[in-house]
């Protein structure tokens, strides 16, 4: 006889133990030929285990809780004591393992999105172990538009992994300084999923950002760009000269496009992939970091 679900708020009951969660999904898995689905599904957990071993996390590799294949990825729970080491060095090592595999492989490239979360989940040896809100949120984070956009925009030769870290993990582990992963390596994002009633604050970490991601302001720069000096205009000039450079580090963008830097002429905006810089809070528009110029339709390129 199946267990009867408890009545919400009918009585108090023990809180399930907190379990950390790690999940990965392969980019463009459904676009592979059907004959490659099985082999790639088997390969992904092997690559994850190789990275765990190389990162020195043998105990975690052998003590996964309620592991499961998702077809194009894997998910498993583990003791939260390992969270600092999953964030660093494991995510970086996994990126290296993927890069080495992709460099020598004659088959399809394996590029992964990863999510890291923590929360109370049943874990007492029953069939329903691991099921709960924390697990659902882990999958939602994995499908968030922000992490998908970063992996899609990053160079397939350089960026093999994009990770999204939940707010709870970020605050407890990263801001708590229990991990070597510095907050400045992370970018705050609004994690939303198309077609789902889901919106959370989260943080992106890209172990190997390609040049175009850095140029777009996805990751923090070593030194802030100095403000541009005002330019004197000649008499009768109709061109609008650039003003002082952007000196703040926070923007809140609703619909539209946010520009950091000097604005002149010759920028065409057509929408597309969304990027966010450090300490920027995005809405639905594109965020462009760097010096840009904007002009009328006749100047579009």
CA distance 258 to 276: 10
CA distance 261 to 245: 5
**Percentage, residues of the chain above pLDDT 90:** 60
Is residue 257 within 8 Å of residue 226, measured between CB atoms? no
Kindly write down the DSSP assignment for every residue of 1-69, as one continuous string: -PPPPPPTTSS--PPPPEEEEEEEEETTGGGS-HHHHHHHHHHHHHHHHHHHHHTT-HHHHHS-EEEEE
**Token pair for residue 81?**
């004591």
For residue 292, what pLDDT is reported?
A: 40
For residue 31, what pLDDT is reported?
A: 82
Is residue 245 within 8 Å of residue 189, measured between CB atoms? no
**Token pair for residue 145?**
């538009």
CA distance 144 to 137: 10
**Token pair for residue 249?**
């580090």
Q: Residue 220: pLDDT above 90?
A: no
Share of the chain residues as helix, strand and coil, in percent rounded to the nearest 5:
30, 20, 50
Task: Tell me which residue of 87, 73, 94 sits closest to 30, measured CA to CA.
Answer: 73
What are the residue ranges of CATH 3.30.70.1230 in the chain?
Answer: 18-209
Residue 254 has a CB neighbour count (10 Å cut-off) of: 9
List residues bridging with 259 in a β-sheet.
288
CA distance 179 to 84: 4
Q: Does domain 18-209 have CATH number 1.20.1260.10?
A: no
What are the pLDDT digits (tens) for 149-171? 999 999 999 999 999 999 999 99
Ramachandran angles phi, psi of 201, nearest 5°: -85, 135
More confident site: 111 or 286: 111
Q: Which residues of 178-213 are buried (b: 16+ CB within 10 A; e: fewer)?
A: ebebeeebbbbbbbbbeeeebebebbbbbbbbbeeb
Q: How many residues does the chain have?
A: 301
For residue 53, what pLDDT is reported?
A: 97
What are the pLDDT digits (tens) for 178-217? 999 999 999 999 999 999 999 999 999 999 999 888 877 7
CA distances from 291 to 57, 196, 226, 233, 298 (A): 44, 35, 12, 19, 20
Does a cis peptide bond (omega within 30 degrees of 0) precede residue 89? yes
Task: Tell me which residue of 86, 77, 74 sits closest to 42, measured CA to CA.
Answer: 74
For residue 107, what pLDDT is reported?
A: 82
Average per-residue pLDDT for the chain: 80
Kindly write down the DSSP assignment for every residue of 73-101, as one continuous string: EEEEEE-GGGHHHIIIIIHHHHHHHHHHH
């Amino acid at each position: 006889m199946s267990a009867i679900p408890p009545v919400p708020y009918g009585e108090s009951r023990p809180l399930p133990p907190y379990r950390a969660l790690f999940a990965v999904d392969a980019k463009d898995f459904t676009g592979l030929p059907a004959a490659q689905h099985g082999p790639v599904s088997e390969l992904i957990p092997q690559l994850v285990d190789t990275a765990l071993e190389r990162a020195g996390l043998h105990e975690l590799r052998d003590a996964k809780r309620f592991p499961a294949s998702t077809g194009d990825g894997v998910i498993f729970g583990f003791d939260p004591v390992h969270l600092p080491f999953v964030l660093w060095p494991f995510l970086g090592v996994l990126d290296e393992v993927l890069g080495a595999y992709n460099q020598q492989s004659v088959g399809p490239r394996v590029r992964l999105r990863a999510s890291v979360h923590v929360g109370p989940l049943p874990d007492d040896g029953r069939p329903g172990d691991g099921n709960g809100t924390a697990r659902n949120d882990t999958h939602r984070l994995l499908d968030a538009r922000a992490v998908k956009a970063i992996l899609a925009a990053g160079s397939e030769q350089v960026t093999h992994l994009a990770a999204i870290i939940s707010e709870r993990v970020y605050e407890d582990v990263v801001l708590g300084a229990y991990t070597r992963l510095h907050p400045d390596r992370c970018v705050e994002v609004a994690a939303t999923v198309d077609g789902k009633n889901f919106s959370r604050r989260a943080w992106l970490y890209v172990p190997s950002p390609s040049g175009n991601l850095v140029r777009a302001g996805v990751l923090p720069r070593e030194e802030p760009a100095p403000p541009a000096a005002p330019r004197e205009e000649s008499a009768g000039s109709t061109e609008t000269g650039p003003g002082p450079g952007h000196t703040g580090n926070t923007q809140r963008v609703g619909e539209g496009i946010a520009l950091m830097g000097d604005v002149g002429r010759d920028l065409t905006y057509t929408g597309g992939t969304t990027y966010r810089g450090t300490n920027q809070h995005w809405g639905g528009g594109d965020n462009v970091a760097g010096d840009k110029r904007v002009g009328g339709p006749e100047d579009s390129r």
